[in-house]
Amino acid sequence: MTKGKKFLLYVAVFLGAYYIPFANPNIQRSILEAFHMLQEYAREHVLFCLVPAFFIAGAIANFISQQAVIKYFGGEARKWVSYTVASVSGTILAVCSCTVLPLFAGIYKRGAGIGPATAFLYSGPAINVLAIILTARVLGWQLGLARAIGAVVFALVIGLLMAVIFRKDDQKRLQGAVAAKADEEEARTGLQNLIYFLTLVLILIFAAWGKPEGATGFWSAVYSIKWPLTIALLIVLGIILKKWFEKDELNQWVDSSWGFAEQILPLLFAGVLIAGFLMGRPGVNAGIIPAGWVARFVGGNSLLANLTASILGAFMYFATLTEVPILQGLIGLGMGKGPALALLLAGPALSLPNMLVIRNIMGTKKTLVFVGLVVVMATLSGLIYGAIV
């Protein structure tokens, strides 16, 4: 951080300490709510979502060859392959807008083009099969279908537009990646790498597997055996690491994983605190912004209602699957169907903590464009859907 930025930070902290009316009950409640949200996030998402994601990101940075990333996600890759893989990745990774960040950072810094990388960034949390099924079951099949179609289309369109808008910048970045890659020797076969990464991904999926209210059948059955499956996978991972990896490689893996944690966690926690202060925890709504305001501004199907829903969804933090009961409550308060879809398409893929970290990875300009594309497309989708239904 530069001296100028440090000075501005000190001034902001001083002004906040000097002028914020801490004696006000609403301020006190919102501050407490911010720390409640941080605690809830730490308990429910750090150990079983973020930690496995950091290790996957560290593995990507160390054990996936740069040639492989460039081959499938770089500027010279076949677009139908790179964008198809990136845009449907969320069907495999049931992650939230924050858990996807280390994975995005890993492939982006390894040489993935900005188009496929941002398609992956959006689709990771947005195209969650369980969330879409739950949406259809709780909120109606029309909204579930619209969410599924919209999420896939969004990932493709946003990725393609980001690639076009930042084509020159990305060409320079990818040229640097190609120039720096040297001749990498593969320590393991392709099948061994596939088994290793599949094991890591399955650990992330099962460790983070939650049981939503009302879930039955397959989803409930998997939830009941999630820990035996996770422990079995950890044993498999231990065998893989002992048989196929050298000690120096494992040290590098841990160092890379820790590097991603150092880069992402401080901004993430700061963002969670701010989001908790402003809007409160999902379902609690004890933030400084009254819940009644949300329902008041997103009723009907006007442009303002859809835009408001998109912006609110973009800044709010939704843990995986929590957007469905929250939206159910808002619809009960009078939220329109168009704004409901707009919030579903903008909310799970973005959040204030997510934006802060993305800016640190790919810069302010690219982050603003990415967020703007999500908000605009969510608004337009809400308008169209609201007019149809």
Q: What is the mean predicted confidence (pLDDT) over 44-72?
A: 76
Q: CA separation (Å) from 336 to 61, 80, 266, 315? A: 44, 36, 36, 19
Count of domains forming the chain: 1
* Residue 334 CB neighbour total at 10 angstroms: 11
DSSP structure string for 209-262: ----TT--THHHHHHHTHHHHHHHHHHHHHHHHHHH--HHHHHHHHHHHHHHHH
Q: Is residue 208 part of a domain?
A: no
User: Is the per-residue pLDDT at 307 higher than 90?
Assistant: yes
User: Is the per-residue pLDDT at 117 higher than 80?
Assistant: yes
State the Cα–Cα distance between residues 303 and 319, nearest whole angstrom: 27
Q: Is residue 210 part of a domain?
A: no
Residue 385 belongs to what H/E stretch?
Answer: helix 364-388
Q: Is residue 330 part of a domain?
A: yes
State the Cα–Cα distance between residues 307 and 135, nearest whole angstrom: 21
Helix (H, G, I), strand (E, B) or coil at 335: strand
What residue numbers bound the domain in which 143 lies?
25-177+246-388
Q: Is residue 112 part of a domain?
A: yes
Task: Give 182's pLDDT tier (boundaries 50, 70, 90).
Answer: very low
- The listed range with the strongest mean pLDDT (125-134, 184-193, 371-380) is 371-380
Q: Is residue 134 part of a domain?
A: yes
State the Cα–Cα distance between residues 310 and 315, nearest whole angstrom: 9
User: Is the per-residue pLDDT at 248 higher than 80?
Assistant: yes
State the Cα–Cα distance between residues 80 and 255, nearest whole angstrom: 34
Query: Which residues, other chains included, contact 76 with Cβ-Cβ below 8 Å and sequence gap of 6+?
Result: 70
Q: E-strand spans in the chain?
A: none
State the Cα–Cα distance between residues 351 and 336, nearest whole angstrom: 22
Task: Give 91's pLDDT tier (boundaries 50, 70, 90).
Answer: low
Q: What is the mean predicted confidence (pLDDT) over 304-317?
A: 88
Alpha-helical (H) ranges within 288-351 are 291-297, 303-315, 323-332, 337-346
φ and ψ at 232, to 5 degrees?
-60, -40
Alpha-helical (H) ranges within 20-128 are 25-41, 51-63, 66-73, 79-87, 100-109, 114-126
Query: Cβ distance 90 to 127 under 8 Å?
Result: yes
Share the mean pLDDT of the chain: 81
Q: Is residue 363 part of a domain?
A: yes
Res 72: pLDDT? 67
315-335: pLDDT as tens digits: 887 766 667 767 766 776 678
Query: Cβ distance 57 to 102 under 8 Å?
Result: yes
Q: Is residue 375 part of a domain?
A: yes
State the Cα–Cα distance between residues 378 and 214, nearest whole angstrom: 28
Res 275: pLDDT? 74
Query: Cβ distance 298 to 337 under 8 Å?
Result: no
Q: Is residue 14 part of a domain?
A: no
pTM of the model: 0.71
* Residue from 260, 313, 312, 373 nearest 125 by CA: 313
